[in-house]
């Protein structure tokens, strides 16, 4: 069969990858409602920093796995990385189900981080490969929507099972089914390296693009660096919501079912919202979507300091999900647009390294703040940091010209906003292939 780019031409393979990413997301959803309560009730942990230690190791392991997934994607193959990710994920529900000590939970989250980093990164890169340059926002919206709808559904289901039957073992039986189905489905996937080769061959000839270093993607490139810092802060606040929100709600007298519902509404809106915001990332300036999404998240986190009722928290969880939906597919679509095709997998890996390091940084920071000053202080600090991240996006990023030019027409070369790069550096970071004007 001839290799073609585009969602319509590759819908079967694309749909299978969407399903697989739902299984990947479901593995994280298992922990979002019940693990902080498990730490308190069964392992008698009191310090917030100790309770959040499982998020620290998850974030560090996933960050490293993301980086190496991007670096190895071209060598090992996308499909092989996906399968390796699921092999790491298979033991996770069993370790949580049988854990006699908190150390087993930590070990399970090392494996979960490897599973998420390799499997989720593989599905992201393969979807970008399949659809080509024109539909990456839509592709990322569908990918992230499936993953986070599954996070929400599993968070609700595990909370309900824990309320009806106890914290263990029944919620983790769900995880065994997700891991098994994820591995079996991944065996049917075809590798997508040929699609990358086709996209490179179809790219208009022009001056060679720059080779992006680790630090270019991390900070030096004004757009990629802005995206990376926003991704880190986004997952920093998500790590706080994951680890501390169940404890905050429990302190207000909410039941496990109510906590599970709030924990499910947030990723549920996040997931559904990306069906709309993903296509918007193909049409609107990515800077604007990132700014308003991060600003909304920060405002919601600060508003949580002033409410106490169950309906209010449901509404704020929905708004938090909406803010995250604005940024999440935009992050990946932006990296896919600003990085040249041969460097896409590695650039995505570097971005995802820092984004998911945010889980570890957030868990450490909020745990220490909560132990020293209380949950409200931790919430206020992370909300303020999220607003600051939005302002960095607003001041540092620039909008590219319309990428949807007619076939055979080279898109215009963007020029970074002045004042953020040393003189002469702007040309280095003009990432599109821009041949000289005709005539």
Q: What confidence score (pLDDT) does residue 68 get?
A: 87
Per residue in 156-172, pLDDT (tens digit) is 899 899 989 988 999 99
Per residue in 348-358, pLDDT (tens digit) is 889 989 998 99
- Is residue 177 pLDDT above 80, yes or no? yes
- Is residue 393 pLDDT above 90, yes or no? yes
Q: How many CB atoms lie within 10 A of CB 75?
A: 8
Provide the pLDDT confidence category of residue 413 given band limits of 50, 70 and 90: very low
Structure tokens at 258: 């109510």
Domain that holds residue 51: 11-194+213-401
Evaluate whether residue 1 is within a structural domain.
no
pLDDT average, residue stretch 118-146: 88
Q: What is the average pLDDT value for the chain, to the nearest integer?
A: 86
Q: Which is it for the CA torsion 359, 365, 368, 369, positive or negative? A: negative
Residue 369 · residue 381 · CB < 8 Å: yes
- Is residue 119 pLDDT above 90, yes or no? yes
Q: Which is it for the CA torsion 392, 395, 396, 401, positive or negative? A: positive
Evaluate whether residue 411 is within a structural domain.
no
Evaluate whether residue 431 is within a structural domain.
no
Burial of 205 (0-12, 13-18, 19+ CB in 10 A): exposed
For residue 151, the domain's CATH number is 1.20.1250.20
Per residue in 334-347, pLDDT (tens digit) is 998 888 877 887 89
Evaluate whether residue 172 is within a structural domain.
yes
Tell me how far the alpha carbon of residue 173 is from its chain's centroid: 25
Provide the pLDDT confidence category of residue 75 given band limits of 50, 70 and 90: confident
Q: What confidence score (pLDDT) does residue 438 get?
A: 34
Provide the pLDDT confidence category of residue 420 given band limits of 50, 70 and 90: very low
Evaluate whether residue 202 is within a structural domain.
no
DSSP one-letter string for 60-96:
HHHHHHHHHHHHHHHHH-HHHHHHHHHHHHTTHHHHH
pLDDT average, residue stretch 11-27: 95
Residue 339 · residue 214 · CB < 8 Å: no
Evaluate whether residue 99 is within a structural domain.
yes
Residue in 231, 226, 240 with CA at minimum distance from that of residue 349: 231
Per residue in 360-381, pLDDT (tens digit) is 898 889 989 999 999 999 999 9
Q: How many domains does the chain have?
A: 1
Residue 372 CA to residue 153 CA, distance in Å, equals 34
Q: What confidence score (pLDDT) does residue 210 get?
A: 66
CA-based end-to-end distance of the chain: 40
Q: 133-158 burial by CB neighbour count: b if 16+ within 10 A, else e?
A: bebbbbbbbbbbbbbbbbbbbbbbbb
Evaluate whether residue 421 is within a structural domain.
no
pLDDT average, residue stretch 66-82: 85
Alpha helices in 78-190 (DSSP H): 78-89, 92-98, 102-131, 136-165, 170-186
Residue 3 · residue 194 · CB < 8 Å: yes
Provide the pLDDT confidence category of residue 1 given band limits of 50, 70 and 90: low
Q: Which is it for the CA torsion 333, 25, 248, 100, positive or negative? A: negative
Residue in the structure block whose two tokens are 């694309």: 14
Per residue in 80-98, pLDDT (tens digit) is 999 999 999 999 999 999 9
Evaluate whether residue 294 is within a structural domain.
yes
């Amino acid at each position: 069969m001839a290799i073609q780019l585009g969602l319509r031409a590759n819908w079967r393979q694309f749909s299978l990858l969407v399903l697989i990413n739902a299984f990947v997301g479901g593995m994280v959803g298992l922990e979002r409602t019940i693990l902080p309560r498990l730490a308190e009730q069964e392992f008698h942990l009191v310090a917030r920093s100790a309770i959040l230690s499982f998020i620290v190791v998850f974030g560090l392991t996933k960050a490293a796995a993301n980086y190496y997934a991007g670096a190895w994607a071209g060598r090992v193959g996308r499909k092989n990385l996906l399968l390796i990710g699921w092999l790491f994920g298979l033991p996770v529900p069993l370790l949580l189900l049988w854990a006699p000590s908190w150390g087993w939970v930590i070990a399970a989250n090392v494996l979960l981080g490897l599973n998420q980093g390799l499997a989720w990164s593989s599905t992201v890169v393969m979807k970008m490969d399949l659809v080509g340059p024109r539909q990456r926002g839509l592709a990322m919206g569908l990918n992230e929507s499936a993953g986070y709808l599954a996070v929400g559904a599993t968070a609700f289901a595990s909370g309900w099972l824990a309320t009806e039957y106890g914290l263990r073992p029944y919620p983790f039986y769900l995880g065994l089914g997700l891991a098994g189905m994820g591995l079996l489905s991944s065996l049917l996937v075809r590798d997508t390296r040929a699609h990358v080769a086709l996209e490179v061959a179809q790219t208009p000839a022009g001056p060679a693009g720059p080779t992006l270093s680790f630090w270019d993607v991390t900070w030096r490139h004004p757009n990629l660096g802005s995206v990376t810092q926003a991704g880190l802060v986004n997952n920093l606040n998500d790590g706080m919501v994951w680890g501390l929100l169940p404890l905050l709600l429990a302190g207000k007298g909410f039941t496990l079912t109510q906590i599970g519902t709030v924990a499910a509404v947030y990723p549920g809106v996040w997931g559904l919202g990306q069906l709309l915001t993903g296509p918007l990332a193909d049409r609107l300036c990515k800077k604007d979507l990132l700014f308003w999404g991060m600003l909304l998240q920060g405002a919601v986190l600060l508003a949580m300091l002033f409410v106490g009722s169950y309906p209010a928290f449901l509404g704020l969880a929905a708004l938090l999900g909406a803010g995250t939906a604005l940024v999440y597919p935009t992050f990946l679509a932006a990296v896919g647009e600003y990085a040249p095709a041969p460097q896409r997998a590695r650039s995505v890996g570097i971005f995802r390294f820092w984004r998911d390091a945010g889980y570890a940084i957030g868990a450490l920071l909020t745990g220490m703040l909560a132990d020293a000053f209380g949950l409200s202080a931790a919430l206020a600090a992370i909300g303020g940091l999220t607003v600051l991240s939005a302002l960095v996006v607003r001041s540092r990023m620039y909008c590219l010209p319309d990428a949807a030019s007619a076939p055979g027409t080279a898109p215009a070369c963007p020029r970074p906003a002045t004042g953020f790069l040393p003189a002469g550096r702007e040309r280095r970071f003009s990432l599109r292939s821009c041949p000289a004007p005709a005539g």
